[in-house]
Structure 1
């Protein structure tokens, strides 16, 4: 290998190595910051917003304040557990689960119900790369909005804790949920019956209007065979399924489509038989 080739190779290797250095530094900071924070208790010093679902709701954090668009607005001083830390190319995130669940209203049909749900928040810090690469500066950014404690009891002893407790459920909550489950099961069965009536009526109409000629009948058989083993993964998918002809076969396009329709309808009807919900009075 000539000297010029060796120098060219060395320069390329050095450029590649230097390009990786920031990513390695960020990865190290992420690992160290995660080790310091994950699993710790914290008081959130800003109001935050959450969907109160399994999803971490995004909140932009800057200067000790956070803002998000979730439907549930939670006051400053919430007790939280730090679930994770992730440092990306343009920002870093801290995922929190609020310890105190929130009472969420649910409206369906004639029912208004309530349940306690966990609220999760993702604090998103849009900070320069030099902050994301510096462990102490990254941690200081987090500590501007999170008061970190070694345990939930220590956090509750802080004057920053807002003291929020779960709002109680209505006294008749269990009875209302039992009534709702009965009603919901009945509604599912109504939808199943409606779908069955529709697909069976379609199949009967196709059979009533069959033509008595060889080309049509041959194409009908080919169409039915092509959709004989159609399957649908869930009851929801069965209830929302619609028929569309696909492909071609034989000399009669109508016969082929009619055969597909009948086979598809029977498959849907067969699948729906496993979707009936038993309605038990009292839930």
Structure 2
């Protein structure tokens, strides 16, 4: 799979973890060996150096890998003036001249569209960020950012899974023709015990994780970045891209009434 500036492998590897960031060198190398070509990280994950090492040691050509990272977290960096240096820091730690996608991680803390977004435009113009994205935005904040950015909005990354279907943001992505990239796409394991998902999984001789990922990919303009550390789980997740759900399956999953949000900090814009 050859990367182009307007393509995104719809299943990627999420790399957030609470501990042992050094594991991501081997995890990324394993994922690329299994067949992944989309890797997602962030400044505050504190693993960009290991992700970069995994890419360089994988034997997969850099041009075949869609690499994304994020900065401008709620409290990193400390001022808007530091955002250009933070972007450079991401590239330095990854050991690359450019990333394929650079996200604003949160629209909170130091974030102000007029102060922060010009640094992303500058990275886009310089070619160090081949595409620009946003993460954890509301529709109103997306409108504001799109009006401010000169660079086209390529992706919006948010939590999305069958227990948090994000209908409004999916429709927004489809209407404005950008990707919605789903993080925590398995609701940190909560989807495994949902009866409707288990029924569809049994019907297709698949796992609940595969069904949940296939449900995400049944939506136009949606990609997903499940985290996995074992080769077998990586392989299973990637195979979800070949699982085709029928209309009955999708309707059954859509009918789930249970709702759950895994990532819900006080600084999130939906809590303002």
Q: Shorter-chain TM-score: which interval?
A: under 0.3
TM-score (norm 2): 0.20
> Going by fraction, where is strand more abundant, 1 or 2?
1
